[in-house]
Amino acid sequence: MKRKRCEGSGESCSPADWIRQEDCPVGIRNVGNTCWFSAVIQSLFHLPVFRRLVLNYCLSERVLEKCKSHSEKRNIAFMQELRCLFALMVGSNRRFVDPSAAVELLRDAFRTSEAQQDVSEFTHKLLDWLEDAFQLAANGNNPEDKQNNPMVQLFYGTFVAERLHAGKIVSNIEQFGQYPLQVNGFNNLDECLEGAMVEGDIESLHSDQPVSSGQERWFSKLPPVLTFELSRFEFNQSLGRPEKIHKKLEFPQVIYMDSRYLHKNVDQTHGRRGDVKRLKDQLTVLQQKLEGYKNYGSGPTKYPLADMLQYVLEFVTTKPTNVSPASLCDKLCLSFFSLPCLSPSKYDAGSSDGSGCPQTATQKTPIHKPFTQCRPPMEVPLQPAPHSVTEEELYFVRSCLQRWRAEVENTVNELKASIDKVSQALEGMYSDNSLCQVSYRLHAVLVHEGQASAGHYWAYIYDHANKRWLKYNDVMVTESTWEELVRDSYGGMTNASAYCLMYISDKLPYLIAEDTDDETGQALKGMDSLPSILRSYVREDNRWFQQELREWEEQFCQAQCEEVHTEKPIPEEPQNPEQEPNPEPAQEQTNEVSGEPPTDSTPAPVQDSEEENQAMATHSQPENEVSEVEIPNVGKILVRSDADGYNEEMMLTPAMQGVIFAIAKARQVFDKDGPEAGLIKAFHEEYSRLYELSQEETTPQQDPRLQHVLVYLFQNQAPNRVIERTLLEQFGDRNLSFDDRAVSIMREARSKIRLIKPEDMDMDEYLQWHDDYSMFKTVFAYLLTGLEQYQNGKIREALNYLAHAHQDNSVLLRKGERKGVDQSLIALYRIKCLKELNENAATLFKSPDANDVAEAMTIMNECIIPCMHLMVRDSVSQEDLDVIELIRSCWCSYLGQDMDDSLQEKLSEFLPRVLDCSAEMVVLKEPPKVRKSPHNLCSRLTAVMESIHSTSVVTVK
């Protein structure tokens, strides 16, 4: 696709976002349906033993001269490109790297260059190429001898297959790389392995009963890296197409392979399998018995037996009545006609013809009130009861029912206890220490989201050095948790699930050990771990990257200047000197264009019809070029090439995902009734979703307002015109030009925005609401950054951020309670920072070192005193007053102490400012710029609040 510079594959239009953050892993750019490549390569690269093998791959001149075949030359070329890619991933200054050179060599190995690849198919092909390439380096003279091939040693194992033939057990040894496991019919990884190990009647293989079928597999040699393929695709014969299996499948972080899968434990495992079978049979019988008590009855509807006996007991003990149904009906009728609302007194006195009907002209029509308003004069039983019960009958039936119910309850409790006991025995059957010696730890999980024909891959990889999970999604590398991994990988809830599991041996520390210096023994990181030739390659690429940044900045400044001149064109002279130009179009454009850059909280500019038609015409020129973009919770979508480009990172924001998903929901309405109906349907879908989101309860770990500007507007009762235009602006975003339906809805939204007249919308009010939301996100960014800095021990920086957060938040709270953040959390940590900084400054001030004294003066003048002054000028709380008095007392105590004249002079310089907080203008040090992405703030809020929850129970409202 032809895209604008900086807008491809998640690139941001900010040069700062192209730069790799310190100690942050590098992402891999998706160069066209290559998410499968990124997922597999990242999982292998972050295995240090494999990374070392690739980076240090080398062939002698003698071996290179012997390589004549096409496959050998291709494999060598691929290894060289893979080395370069790995080197960039180690030492590049870029946030993500381009794998195009390595990917191009793989294209020919698959059916087509554009089809999305199966991750297991690619991994098989990749390992084959690597195996052949390393075979040249390991033993070029004998290609059949693969004992010294590092790829074979690392990824390949063997298993023993046993079967019964002619009454004898026949076994053979087979090699495996990635071991396939079926998902259907199993609930967890152990069940999958058990099913893969056993086929047919497993007991007959090691018993005296001959059978004609049955096979077992036992691992005889496990590889250091054990990879399982989860077969989540099957071919539907009736539909003639593959389908994905979305069934839930659990897998552990640590699995013990000797518990039931190793050939050396075959006898012990068989004995336990017999015990397991007996326990499972016993458990089935117990569960069937319990089910009979819980669902009793011969008809279609069944009830718990204990409850049925209790109901019969309640019926028998209910007070009997001698009233029959017929007599009860008669009495109810008499009661009805004797109600006061129907009595003769309700009629005017007058003559009657004897029939009971009044004859006077002034007679009133009777008022028939509902008889429920009048209480019947007799008591009617409220629940069924026997007509008559003797004391003897009552005693006999009651005693029987009570005894039977007690017996049933005791039996049910005994069955439950037996089931628990048997279940615990089953769970502990393979968990004793003798069978838990060969442990494998989960290293990587490759996830597929979508259906069989299309989808997206990403990987969760464990960072062994920092003990954390990281999510690698093409160019995006983010810190994750086991809970998020489980949610995305187990399956059963969404269309995302694990497709490949990579475990590594816990007994081989060299697998995850970093490179070390031969002389000092210290770990080598970054560029130091690269061979000299690759180090030079990366340095050269980094120099090119710096040049690209400089060029981008120059182009960006030039574009900004051109945009300024374009926004203020010189009006043309009218052809007729007596005819004045019509000012209305210019006025309409002024009200529609806010002049602010389009973000998730600021409305995007709306083009006039001529510009829009020209843009759409340009957009439709390269019709034969398309690309795919993965939208979380939506799936893979085809995007037409656009000469003007689109911001792919904006398409991945939660706000844009919601709009895209709403458009997808409105597909049927669009196809049936056209773009306007489709827009209305999509608008109401997203409006309803965001309104429901605004009603969710705020927790310390989550604030719905951070997820979308409309949630903020709803919670602050913004005018409907502001809410509706804000959402309409998002449906008019240019990033929606990824297919014809979205383009039509985008055009329709822009048309409706142009119909909004100046008298219908106060743009100053509209922009003020968005400015408030932008400040709200700034407050949150300052707050979270301050808390993060505080936890990292950077107290001075933390106080600066918290002081700015408190100051800006006070402005918002004066406009409304839900306009800002609850001040209690900011105030609490502001006080903590002040106390710690003051103690530090007081200690440094008494130091004999002049540098320490100067540092103390800097802390007081730049941090503590300005913050104290702001606290006094605001609505100061008692806690704030207490910490201010504590600081004053601390420094006043120095007045009675002996100290050098120079210290006395310095103390006299700032002590008056400590005591009097109203005599000067306060200027806080401006903190560095912070990212205000709502998605980023949501994840940071969760992480920060979870980390401080044990020490501070403060709700962020």
Nearest Cα residue to 21 out of 653, 478, 544, 522: 478
For residue 241, the one-letter residue type is R
Do the beta carbons of residue 303 and residue 297 sit within 8 Å?
Answer: yes
Phi, psi of 11 (to 5 degrees): -70, 145
Compute CA distances 353 → 348, 357, 358, 360, whole Å: 15, 7, 8, 11
Rounded distance between C-alpha atoms, residue 356 and residue 432, angstroms: 95
Do the beta carbons of residue 322 and residue 387 sit within 8 Å?
Answer: yes
| Full strand arrangement of the beta sheet holding 157-165 | 168-176, 157-165, 215-221, 198-199
Rounded distance between C-alpha atoms, residue 122 and residue 129, angstroms: 11
- Who contacts 705 (Cβ-Cβ below 8 Å, separation ≥6)? 694, 711, 712, 715, 776, 818
Bridge partners, 97 (sequence order): 28
- Residue 323 is inside which H or E element, if any? none
Nearest Cα residue to 712 out of 790, 768, 783: 768
Rounded distance between C-alpha atoms, residue 2 and residue 452, angstroms: 29
Rounded distance between C-alpha atoms, residue 662 and residue 20, angstroms: 34
Pairing between strand 27-28 and 96-97?
Answer: parallel
- Residue 952 is inside which H or E element, if any? none
Give the CA-trace dihedral at 817, 821, 824, 830, to 10 degrees: -140
Long-range CB contacts (< 8 A, 24+ apart) of 23-26? 24/95, 24/477, 25/89, 25/470, 25/472, 25/477, 26/88, 26/89, 26/92, 26/94, 26/95, 26/96, 26/97, 26/477
Q: Can you say how many angstroms the Cα of residue 632 is from the centroid of all Cα atoms in its chain?
A: 9
| Paired tokens of 398 | 């009651």
- Residue 922 is inside which H or E element, if any? none
For residue 342, the one-letter residue type is L
Buried/exposed code over 646-664 (b: 16+ C-beta within 10 A; e: otherwise): bbbbbbbbbbbbbbbbbbb
Please identify which residue in the block is written with the tokens 């001698």.
322
Count of C-beta atoms within a 10 Å radius of residue 169: 12
**949: annotated active-site residue:** no
Count of C-beta atoms within a 10 Å radius of residue 604: 20
**456: annotated active-site residue:** yes
Options 263, 448, 456, 770, the catalytic residue: 456
For residue 824, the one-letter residue type is S
DSSP code string of 583-646: -HHHHHHHHH---SPP-SSSPPP---HHHHHHHHHHHTS-TT-EEEEEETTTEEEEEE--TT--
| Paired tokens of 415 | 């069955």
Give the CA-trace dihedral at 914, 918, 920, 925, to 10 degrees: 70
The sign one gets for the Cα dihedral 32, 36, 37, 42 is positive
What three-state secondary structure class fits 170? strand
Compute CA distances 396 → 25, 389, 401, whole Å: 79, 11, 9
Options 6, 35, 833, 917, the catalytic residue: 35
Phi, psi of 867 (to 5 degrees): -65, -40
For residue 880, the one-letter residue type is D
Residues tagged active-site: 35, 456
